[in-house]
Amino acid sequence: MSAARRVRAAIALAAVFVYDIVASSVAVARVVITPNSRPQPAIVVIPVDARTDWGVALFAYLVSLTPGSTCLHVADDRRSLYVHLLDASDIPERVAGIKALYERWILQLEGEEAS
């Protein structure tokens, strides 16, 4: 993969992360200030397609830095992240959303094509 594509992927990943920080901060604030809020916290498993150690670590860090989610553990085989979500009312949707936001760009940074 060309250096230009990796630079584009890095810029896109940074932009997506900033967007997610803002959107997640608003969502967490809404949960905190809404008196009748009933978030459904859960620990979920997110499958990992990234192959390099730094790609998996970057994915885990980005998830942990986003308000409302914390990466608790990376599986020994580095194929899964165990993540605590503040609100996991639709687990498959949340898992797919996290993967779509971050992992496609991480795969490009690793030099692989995103699916």
**pLDDT (tens digit per residue) in 12-32:** 999 999 999 999 999 999 999
Residue 64: predicted pLDDT: 96
Residue 113: predicted pLDDT: 58
Mean pLDDT over residues 22-43, rounded? 93
Nearest Cα neighbor of 4 from 103, 104, 106, 109 is: 109
Residue 3: predicted pLDDT: 87
Can you tell me whether residue 46 is helix, strand or coil?
strand
Q: Which residue has the higher pLDDT, 86 or 113?
A: 86
Mean pLDDT over residues 76-94, rounded? 95
Distances (CA, A) of 2 to 58, 105, 110, 113: 20, 14, 11, 11
SS3 content of the chain, % helix, strand, coil (to 5): 55, 15, 30
